[in-house]
Amino acid sequence: MSTSKQTADAIIVGGGLHGCATALYLAMRGINCAVLEKDYVGRHASGVNAGGVRRLGRALPELPLADTALSIWRNIEDLVDDDCGFESLGQIKVAENDAELSALKNRAKTVQDIGFSHEEIIDQKQLRELLPAVASHCIGGLYVNGDGHANPYRTVTAFKRKAISMGVRIFEQTPVNEIVRHGTNWLVKSPSVKIEAPIIVNCAGAWGGSIAAQLGDYAPVEAQALMLMITARMPRFVKPVVGSQGRALSFKQFDNGTVMMGGAYQGRAEPEQNNTHLSFNGLAKNACAATAMFPIMRHATIVRSWAGIEGVMPDNIPVIGAGSANGVYHAFGFSAHGFALGPLVGKIITDLIDGGDIELPIDAFRIRRFSQNKDT
């Protein structure tokens, strides 16, 4: 096959939400960029995740980012001409006993101590007002007003379309074979196209580790298959997104009535084959948690289950920032909770590239943390 040769100001590897958002922000600054996606945009974690947009329960280093990201989500339609299905109906983590409630109280205090006030403890009465269908033994919870969820595939597609309208070239079905230095540029070779640019951004998700290696950086990203399942339509009985302090469960009902359940149970990922396998023993535990917390769910019908391929870091927080070589930037390994951050991360990477000020603390996400650990 003949390969065309092209140039750009920046090349983005990976057409997920982070890649497309980065492309869009770069394009808005007049930086000419190309996105290379080995499958199609939103094929993996970006398009098939649970769609949570939350601050609730986030790792502390991510909190400032999640808080700022929410302001982008509130105006997402201004940015990408689509509301992305974003609904802000709150998120709740439920406590089923005193020990769980006191753990939630500790968490709320920790968050307050670093200057955030969004997480609030609610008692049993408030819980039942927010979640009328919750099981009667649940005694309270931790609530964040303003958190919510969006439609993942619709979101990533909206970013893609907006980026294209701003002149971004998106190459789908275009796997990266090799990345080499060419003068001061990075030359990216794929079966159908060769592109070179002084800047390269690694947004390759679960495949981000091997891209990082080609750019001279080390990051031990592990591909995981986080399982989700969804029911047939039911009358609407829950509005906020619900989690559990004591069980691995994430639970939400969409406005079309379908109920999605997920939470920490893994299938088996085969990133080389683009494939995931499900484990019904894990899904059974998930079902157990859902029926225990919402008795109405006993009669729900599961119509589909699936798992996206997530890139997970050993410390469960992502890699965001500059690489060690000139012109290299990374944004991957969001460890199964990167969707909400996607639009903001695109802006952060653009600020880094464009020499702008980064007001948000991102040092915790530097890629060097792994090679430093490796050395010592």
Cβ neighbour number for residue 40 with a 10 Å cutoff: 14
Binding region for another protein (CB under 8 A) out of 76-84, 100-108, 207-215, 275-283: 275-283
Q: Is 47 exposed, middle or buried (0-12, 13-18, 19+ CB in 10 A)?
A: buried
The Cα–Cα gap between 168 and 147 comes to 31
Residue 18 is classified by DSSP as H
The span from the CA of 165 to the CA of 160, in Å, is 9
What's the CA gap between 302 and 371, in Å, rounded? 44
CB 70 within 8 A of CB 176: no
Site string for another protein, 160-189 (x = CB under 8 A): -x----------------------------
By C-beta, is 161 or 169 nearer to another protein? 161
- Identify the residue among 18, 93, 154, 347 touching another protein (CB under 8 A): 154
Task: For residue 306, state whether it binds another protein (rule: CB under 8 A).
Answer: yes
Distance CA 256, CA 264 (A): 25
Q: Smaller CB distance to another protein: residue 132 or 257?
A: 257
Contacts of 136 (CB under 8 A, 6+ apart): none
The count of chain residues that interact with another protein, using the rule CB under 8 A, is 31
Pairing of strands 119-123, 91-95: unpaired
Between the alpha carbon of residue 109 and those of residues 61, 67, 105, 117, the distances in Å are 16, 17, 6, 9
Stretch that binds another protein, among 99-107, 125-133, 245-253, 278-286 (CB under 8 A): 278-286
Query: Would you give the DSSP letter of residue 155?
Result: H
C-beta closer to another protein: residue 267 or 323 = 267
Minimum distance from residue 251 beta carbon to another protein (Å)? 11
Residue from 287, 319, 336, 340 binding another protein (CB under 8 A): 287
Per CB under 8 A, 304 contacts another protein:
yes
> Which position among 174, 231, 250, 335 is part of the footprint of another protein (CB under 8 A)?
231
Q: How far is the CB of 340 from another protein (least distance, A)?
A: 19
CB of 297 to another protein, least distance (A): 5
Q: Is the backbone of residue 189 left (phi > 0), alpha (psi -120 to 50) or beta? A: beta
- The verdict on 213 binding another protein (CB under 8 A) reads no
Q: Does 290 bind another protein (CB under 8 A)?
A: yes
| Residue of 60, 137, 277, 373 interacting with another protein (CB under 8 A) | 277
Provide the minimum distance between the beta carbon of 151 and another protein in the complex, in angstroms, as a whole number: 8
CB nearer another protein, residue 318 or residue 342: 342
Q: Does 192 bind another protein (CB under 8 A)?
A: no
* The amino acid at 356: G
48's enclosing H/E stretch is: helix 45-48
Helix (H) or strand (E) holding 231: strand 222-231
Site for another protein in 9-38 (CB under 8 A): none
- Binding flag, residue 256, another protein (CB under 8 A): yes
Helix (H) or strand (E) holding 35: strand 33-36
Contact residues for another protein (CB under 8 A)? 40, 42, 47, 153-154, 157, 161, 231-232, 256, 277-278, 280-281, 283-285, 287-288, 290-291, 297-306
